[in-house]
């Protein structure tokens, strides 16, 4: 594994996210494997629950603020926090200060913690300066750039650089890649028709790309895409980027 | 002032209807894919495009920051040029002012060029009630007037109408023969409208920008009807929201550079009329009287709100509509208001109130495509979120959302609670999970499974796996 | 009074916005960029004007401009033309008159029938104050001898522009301190619309054809 000297481990607190914790634990396990291979000493503060994004996005800011304060308590002493989700990382970095605007001390804490919070691919590429994790994943892979990561965290090159560093992986272009998949949190249920129509367009693009696997930085988008592919009885597999990077 | 409670805009129902309309879906997709490409190409041609957007945004921010000064300066310049400035607090007043002008000047026929602001104040209805014939002269607006429909897009109002539909309309209303060539249809409309222009007493237009420094009104268009409306009739009335004023003539240079490219991908619109006062002595044409109507109608509410004020930067280019995946499928009519798409979803709840328009900010995935293309850098997703919070605080949100929020907050309040709730979930889902997935979720989550399967809760949560490792 | 109400609300709005926490009011007007500098503004102007459907011809002198104008009118079977009554267009006016074309001028037409007369013309012929290279735009100023409708009502518009009057971009135009006429019109190509079926068509309400003669001499 290039670049990592033994004993040079950076301590990292993992915020695994509610969806990964309860629905896709294997993504969390893969994230741990990837971080350890990158030389990190991973800690999982067990008191963690949710960053508050679902309630925040639906306008319930008082509720979300409670979860935000909780997050800040749980991760108060964490040196660096890594999150296998662009939208959750964006929530903490971009929105906690606004959410806690009326409590200056909390807002200050939020700013400080936000500066130490990273989405996984962002952490690997920008902080650890790694693009090769010794992974091998043969197959045609399409990358879907989830909106919050793309436009919120400006994650454009990082996930692609990591995927290119995977041996035998063939990255196929995804038509209309930057178009939203249609998940949007509660939108998927409330405006299910619109969500379904946007999903339909994304699925058509994925199928036309010739990919065997579609990957992204967010399980929220992925579970929505996977649900659609399953309905169509598609053979295309859906994997979080951590799973691809953890493959050997 | 007791107004009847305005009807609530049901975005869920409206979008559902729109999705069922195959013609609409086809027309929207066709048009928007094209507009997106045109805008992208036009922006790509300008290497300093991002810097230009920043600058355009800053110019507008500065214009708004001293709006009172700029408005009064504009007013005194126009008065010095022999024009008249009127101020209207709201739509009722605006209509009254124009109706008075019509009455005192003996106006019988009015030609109008496209203006969202005049739509906003429901001007046409009031003029017709006053016995004045009003003719919309933008080809698209003319088509809609004949058809009795409202526009569905800021820039391309007839985006929802096919050539065949227009031909049928012209046959029916103008006695034209059936035509399938847009060029022929255009000739029919041009001829019909020429007669109107030559007979009109008053021309009413909107204003794209008003320059405080010089008292200049700027009207941007491609067809030439605004030029005709501001030249031929003896009276020109320009209707403008307070936010349209720019401090300096030089500011216009930047705004014009981003406007057309963002709207239609053109380097420049065909006509930019810069009107500085009415006709001067010795001139053969031009209006004898120039009137500017400055309209508030709720804009000061946006101005007072630090989180939403930047929405007043809007130059009405339509780029956010063109790029929005929701607008692409909903179309303009679903929003039931003058301003649709992302910008409409921000300003309508403020201008018309949350009880009526509280659904609009939720009809979005917050993908951010709109903010990426806005030429004046309005952070629309941020504003949509702010409005969602206000909608919740105002109590206009339904019980399903509140139930979800309560339930979620409870479950996530600590690992012990989460364990209990998730454990219950794992029990209940045994009724729903088949072959590793859920095909049918019960009300009120059935919308999810209408279009995709749902993942089950994993047998072992990550936190438990971590503990056992 | 509405004026006081609106201005009062504007002032109150700005005060409350200023007082809000975290509010960053801009300190002053932003610096504006300098006009661009193009190596060959003339060629760029010609390219950009053609790209929007105008025709562009270069002529070495006003005499040649007069000859070209006459040819253009003949090709379009122009019988009546509105021509701006400016000194710079005198050679063109004289030549067209010699060719038997009726020249319509506001001074000679009763005010009442001015518009109808112009509406019945086959062409409008004007000069342009400036050209804008970046967009292929003509800048027309109106005046007593420069009626607005000449470039608007007739189906065809011919414009004479001096090469030395081509500016790089709009900022260059607005950086000048010239007094503004009652109507300054920026014209970029023939009138157009795509409102019917999204198919672009020339000559929606304004001229269907715009011909530009650039005088280099």
Query: Is B231 within 8 Å of C183 when comparing Cβ atoms?
Result: yes
All residues of chain A having their beta carbon less than 8 Å from the beta carbon of residue B16 are 193
- For B24-71, write each residue's pLDDT tens digit: 898 889 889 999 999 999 999 999 999 999 999 999 999 999 999 999
A203 and A99 housed in the same domain? no
Residue A2 has pLDDT above 60, yes or no: no
Query: Is A55 within 8 Å of B409 when comparing Cβ atoms?
Result: yes
% of chain B surpassing 70 pLDDT: 97
Which among B363, B445, B462 has the least Cβ separation from residue A21? Answer: B462
Residue A7 has pLDDT above 90, yes or no: no
Find the mean pLDDT for residues B265-286. Answer: 96
Q: Is residue A60 part of a domain?
A: yes
Position C23 scores a pLDDT of 62
Which among A82, A108, A110, A81 is positioned nearest to A95, based on CA atoms? Answer: A110
Position B156 scores a pLDDT of 66
Q: Does C14 touch chain B (CB under 8 A)?
A: yes
Contact in structure between B320 and B339 (CB atoms under 8 Å): no
Contact in structure between B408 and B421 (CB atoms under 8 Å): no
Chain A nearest C-alpha distance from B55 (Å)? 20
Q: How far, in Å, are A50, A69, A205, B127 from residue B404 at the CA level?
A: 14, 20, 32, 49
Residue A3 has pLDDT above 60, yes or no: no
Q: Measure the CA–CA gap between C157 and C150, rounded to whole angstroms.
A: 8
A177 and A92 housed in the same domain? no
Position B5 scores a pLDDT of 58
A-chain residue closest to B387, CA distance: A59
Average pLDDT, chain B: 93
Chain B nearest C-alpha distance from A200 (Å)? 9
Q: Measure the CA–CA gap between B239 and B117, rounded to whole angstroms.
A: 7
Q: A153, A193, A240: best mutation site toward chain B, by most B Cβ within 10 Å?
A: A193
A112 and A182 housed in the same domain? no
All residues of chain B having their beta carbon less than 8 Å from the beta carbon of residue C196 are 139-140, 143, 158, 163, 166, 182, 185-186, 189
Position B145 scores a pLDDT of 86
Which residue, chain included where needed, has tokens 């014009």? Answer: B256
Q: Does B396 touch chain A (CB under 8 A)?
A: no
B-chain residue closest to C24, CA distance: B306
B444 preceded by a cis bond (ω within 30 of 0): yes
Q: Which residues pair with A40 in a beta bridge?
A: A10
A167 and A234 housed in the same domain? yes
Q: Measure the CA–CA gap between C183 and B181, rounded to whole angstroms.
A: 35
Q: B455, B457, B459, B467: best mutation site toward chain A, by most A Cβ within 10 Å?
A: B455
Position B139 scores a pLDDT of 87
B-chain residue closest to C137, CA distance: B268
Which among B411, B397, B366 is positioned nearest to A19, based on CA atoms? Answer: B411
Q: What is the CATH number of the domain that holds C158?
A: 3.40.50.10420
Position B141 scores a pLDDT of 84
Q: Which residues pair with B88 in a beta bridge?
A: B295
- The pair of three-digit structure tokens given for residue A20, joined into one six-digit string: 């990964």
- Kindly give the parts of chain C with pLDDT less than 70: 21-25, 27
Domain count, chain C: 1
Angle (nearest 5°) at CA A73 between A129 and A17? 55
Query: Is B272 within 8 Å of C193 when comparing Cβ atoms?
Result: no
A167 and A239 housed in the same domain? yes
Beta-strand runs (E) in chain A: 10-14, 40-43, 81-83, 117-119, 136-143, 167-172, 213-216, 237-240
DSSP string of A21-76, one letter each residue:
HHT-HHHHHHHHHHHHHTTEEEE--TT----SHHHHHTT-HHHHHHHHHHHHHHTT
Contact in structure between B234 and B283 (CB atoms under 8 Å): no
Position B143 scores a pLDDT of 86
Q: Measure the CA–CA gap between B44 and C137, rounded to whole angstroms.
A: 20
All residues of chain A having their beta carbon less than 8 Å from the beta carbon of residue B438 are none
Find the mean pLDDT for residues B3-28. Answer: 88
B-chain residue closest to C174, CA distance: B250
Residue A1 has pLDDT above 50, yes or no: no
Contact in structure between B124 and B118 (CB atoms under 8 Å): yes
Chain B nearest C-alpha distance from C86 (Å)? 13
Q: Does A184 touch chain B (CB under 8 A)?
A: yes
Position A121 scores a pLDDT of 97
Query: Is C205 within 8 Å of B193 when comparing Cβ atoms?
Result: yes
C-chain residue closest to B67, CA distance: C10
A212 and A185 housed in the same domain? yes
Q: Is residue A5 part of a domain?
A: no
Q: Measure the CA–CA gap between B384 and B345, rounded to whole angstroms.
A: 7
Q: Which residue segments constitute the domains of chain B, with CATH numbers given?
A: 67-300 (3.40.50.10420), 399-468 (no CATH)
Residues 6+ apart with CB under 8 A from A125: A131, A157, A158, A161, A162
Position B154 scores a pLDDT of 58
- For A40-95, write each residue's pLDDT tens digit: 999 999 999 999 999 999 999 999 999 999 999 999 999 999 999 999 999 999 99
Q: Does C110 touch chain B (CB under 8 A)?
A: no
A120 and A139 housed in the same domain? no
Nearest-10 Cα torsion for A119, A120, A125, A129 = 110
Domain boundary among A103, A125, A147: A125
Query: Is C195 within 8 Å of B137 when comparing Cβ atoms?
Result: no
Position A8 scores a pLDDT of 53
What is the length of chain C?
Answer: 217
Query: Is C180 within 8 Å of B216 when comparing Cβ atoms?
Result: yes
Average pLDDT, chain A: 95
Which among B200, B238, B239 is positioned nearest to B107, based on CA atoms? Answer: B200
Q: Looking at per-residue confidence, does B138 or B217 come out higher?
A: B217
A116 and A168 housed in the same domain? no
The parent domain of residue A115 ranges over 10-125
Burial of B418 (0-12, 13-18, 19+ CB in 10 A): buried
- CB count within 10 Å of CB A33 equals 19
Which among B166, B279, B305 has the least Cβ separation from residue C197? Answer: B166
Chain B nearest C-alpha distance from A169 (Å)? 27
Q: B45, B229, B284: best mutation site toward chain C, by most C Cβ within 10 Å?
A: B284
Q: Is residue C165 part of a domain?
A: yes
A115 and A198 housed in the same domain? no
Which among C86, C57, C90, C69 is positioned nearest to C214, based on CA atoms? Answer: C57
All partners of chain C with 3 or more CB pairs under 8 angstroms: B
Q: Does C42 touch chain B (CB under 8 A)?
A: no
Q: What is the ipTM of this complex?
A: 0.96
Q: Measure the CA–CA gap between C6 and C14, rounded to whole angstroms.
A: 12
Interface of C with B in 67-96 (CB under 8 A): none
Interface of C with B in 120-159 (CB under 8 A): 132, 134-137, 142-144, 147-149, 152-153
B-chain residue closest to A19, CA distance: B457
Position A229 scores a pLDDT of 97
Q: Which residues pair with A117 in a beta bridge?
A: A81
**What's CA B93's distance to the chain center, in Å?**
22
For residue A193, what pLDDT band results from cuts at 50, 70 and 90? Answer: very high
Domain count, chain A: 2
Query: Is B285 within 8 Å of C5 when comparing Cβ atoms?
Result: no
Domain boundary among A125, A146, A169: A125
Q: How far, in Å, are B134, B150, C205 from residue B166 at the CA level?
A: 20, 15, 18
Domain boundary among A125, A146, A165: A125
Q: What is the CATH number of the domain that holds A197?
A: 3.40.50
Q: Is residue C16 part of a domain?
A: no
All partners of chain A with 3 or more CB pairs under 8 angstroms: B
Q: How far, in Å, are B13, B200, B302, B369, B467 from residue A39 at the CA level?
A: 52, 79, 51, 36, 21
Q: Is residue C27 part of a domain?
A: no
A104 and A40 housed in the same domain? yes
All residues of chain B having their beta carbon less than 8 Å from the beta carbon of residue C183 are 230-231, 273-276, 286
Return the minimum-mean-pLDDT range out of B99-108, B148-157, B439-448. Answer: B148-157
Q: Measure the CA–CA gap between C84 and C103, rounded to whole angstroms.
A: 10
Q: Measure the CA–CA gap between C2 and B293, rounded to whole angstroms.
A: 11
Q: Is residue C151 part of a domain?
A: yes
Q: Is residue A1 part of a domain?
A: no
Q: B360, B362, B452: best mutation site toward chain A, by most A Cβ within 10 Å?
A: B452
Residue A147 has pLDDT above 60, yes or no: yes
Which among C16, C26, C148 has the least Cβ separation from residue B62? Answer: C26
Position A5 scores a pLDDT of 47
A119 and A14 housed in the same domain? yes
A19 and A103 housed in the same domain? yes
The parent domain of residue C185 ranges over 41-215
Which among B89, B186, B305 has the least Cβ separation from residue C6? Answer: B89
Q: B12, B21, B367, B456: best mutation site toward chain A, by most A Cβ within 10 Å?
A: B367
Phi, psi of A240 (to 5 degrees): -70, 150
All residues of chain C having their beta carbon less than 8 Å from the beta carbon of residue B162 are 197
């Amino acid at each position: 594994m290039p670049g990592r000297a033994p004993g040079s481990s950076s301590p990292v607190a993992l915020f695994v996210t509610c969806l990964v914790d309860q629905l896709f634990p294997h993504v969390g396990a893969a994230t741990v494997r990837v971080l350890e291979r990158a030389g990190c000493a991973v800690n999982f503060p067990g008191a963690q629950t949710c960053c508050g994004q679902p309630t925040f996005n639906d306008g319930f800011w008082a509720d979300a603020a409670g979860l935000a304060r909780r997050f800040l308590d749980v991760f108060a002493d964490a040196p660096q926090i890594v999150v296998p989700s662009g939208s959750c990382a964006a929530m903490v970095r971009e929105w906690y200060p606004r959410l806690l605007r009326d409590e200056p001390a909390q807002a200050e804490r939020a700013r400080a913690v936000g500066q130490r919070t990273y989405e996984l691919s962002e952490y690997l590429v920008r902080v650890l300066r790694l693009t090769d994790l010794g992974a091998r994943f043969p197959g045609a892979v399409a990358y879907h750039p989830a909106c919050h990561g793309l436009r919120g965290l400006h994650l454009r090159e990082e996930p692609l650089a990591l995927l290119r560093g995977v041996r035998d992986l063939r990255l196929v272009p995804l038509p209309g890649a930057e178009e939203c998949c249609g998940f949007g949190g509660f939108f998927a249920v409330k405006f299910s028709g619109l969500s379904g129509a946007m999903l339909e367009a994304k699925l058509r693009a994925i199928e036309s790309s010739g990919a065997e696997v579609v990957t992204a930085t967010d399980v929220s988008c992925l579970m929505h895409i996977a649900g659609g592919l399953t309905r169509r009885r598609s053979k295309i597999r859906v994997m979080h980027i951590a799973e691809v990077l953890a493959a050997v | 002032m007791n107004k009847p409670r305005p009807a609530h805009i049901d975005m869920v129902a409206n979008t559902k209807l729109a999705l069922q309309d195959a013609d609409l879906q086809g027309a929207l997709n066709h048009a928007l894919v094209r507009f997106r490409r045109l805008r992208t190409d036009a922006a790509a041609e300008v290497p300093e495009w991002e810097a230009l957007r920043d600058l355009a945004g800053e110019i507008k921010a500065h214009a708004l920051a001293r709006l009172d000064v700029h408005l009064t300066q504009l007013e005194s310049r126009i008065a010095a040029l022999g024009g008249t400035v009127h101020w209207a607090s709201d739509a009722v007043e605006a209509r009254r002012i124009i109706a008075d002008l019509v009455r005192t000047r003996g106006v019988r026929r009015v030609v109008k060029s496209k203006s969202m602001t005049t739509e906003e104040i429901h001007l046409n209805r009031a003029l017709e009630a006053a016995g004045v014939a009003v003719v919309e002269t933008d080809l698209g607006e003319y088509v809609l007037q004949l058809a009795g429909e409202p526009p569905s897009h800021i820039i391309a109002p007839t985006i929802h109408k096919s050539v065949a539909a227009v031909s049928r309309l012209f046959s029916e209303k103008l006695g034209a023969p059936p035509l399938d060539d847009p060029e022929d249809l255009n000739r029919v409309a041009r001829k019909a409208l020429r007669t109107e222009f030559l007979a009109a007493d008053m021309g009413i237009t909107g204003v794209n920008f008003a320059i405080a420094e010089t008292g200049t009104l700027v009207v941007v268009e491609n067809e030439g009807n605004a030029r005709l409306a501001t030249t031929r009739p003896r009276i020109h009335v320009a209707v403008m929201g307070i936010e349209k004023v720019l401090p300096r003539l030089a500011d216009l240079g930047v705004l014009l550079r981003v406007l057309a490219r963002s709207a239609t991908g053109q380097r420049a619109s065909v006509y930019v009329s810069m009107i500085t006062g009415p006709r001067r002595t010795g001139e053969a044409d031009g209006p004898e009287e120039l009137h500017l109507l400055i309209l508030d109608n709720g804009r000061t509410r946006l101005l007072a709100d630090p989180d939403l004020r930047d929405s007043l930067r809007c130059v009405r280019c339509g780029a956010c509509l063109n790029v929005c995946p929701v607008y692409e499928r909903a179309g303009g009519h679903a929003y039931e208001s003058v301003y649709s798409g992302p910008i409409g979803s921000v300003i309508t709840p403020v201008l018309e109130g949350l009880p009526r328009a509280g659904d609009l900010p939720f009809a979005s995935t917050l993908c951010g495509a709109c903010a990426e293309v806005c030429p004046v850098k309005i952070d629309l997703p941020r504003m949509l979120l702010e409005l969602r919070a206000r909608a919740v605080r105002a109590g206009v949100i339904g019980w399903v959302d509140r139930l979800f929020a309560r339930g979620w907050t409870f479950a996530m309040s600590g690992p012990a609670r989460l364990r209990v709730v998730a454990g219950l979930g794992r029990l209940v889902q045994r009724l729903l999970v088949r072959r590793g997935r859920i095909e049918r979720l019960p009300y009120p989550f059935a919308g999810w499974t209408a279009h995709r399967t749902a993942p089950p809760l994993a047998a072992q949560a990550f936190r438990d796996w971590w503990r056992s490792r | 009074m509405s004026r006081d109400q609106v201005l009062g609300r504007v002032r109150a709005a700005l005060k409350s916005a200023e007082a809000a926490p975290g509010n960053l009011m801009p300190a002053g007007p932003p610096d504006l960029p300098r006009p661009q500098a193009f190596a060959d503004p003339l060629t760029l102007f010609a390219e950009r004007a053609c790209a929007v459907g105008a025709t562009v011809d270069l002529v070495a002198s006003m005499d040649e401009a007069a000859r070209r104008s006459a040819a253009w009118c003949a090709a379009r079977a122009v019988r009546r033309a509105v021509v701006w009554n400016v000194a710079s267009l005198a050679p063109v006016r004289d030549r067209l008159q010699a060719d038997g074309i009726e020249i319509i001028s506001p001074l000679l037409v009763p005010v009442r029938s001015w518009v109808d007369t112009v509406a019945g013309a086959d062409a409008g012929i004007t000069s342009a104050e400036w050209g804008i290279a970046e967009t292929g735009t003509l800048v027309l100023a109106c005046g007593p001898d420069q009626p607005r409708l000449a470039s608007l009502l007739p189906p065809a518009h011919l414009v004479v522009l001096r090469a030395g009057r081509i500016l790089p971009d709009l900022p260059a135009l607005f950086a000048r301190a010239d007094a503004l006429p009652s109507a300054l019109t920026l014209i970029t190509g023939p009138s157009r619309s795509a409102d019917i079926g999204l198919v672009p068509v020339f000559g929606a309400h304004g001229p269907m054809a715009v011909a530009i003669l650039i005088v280099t001499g």
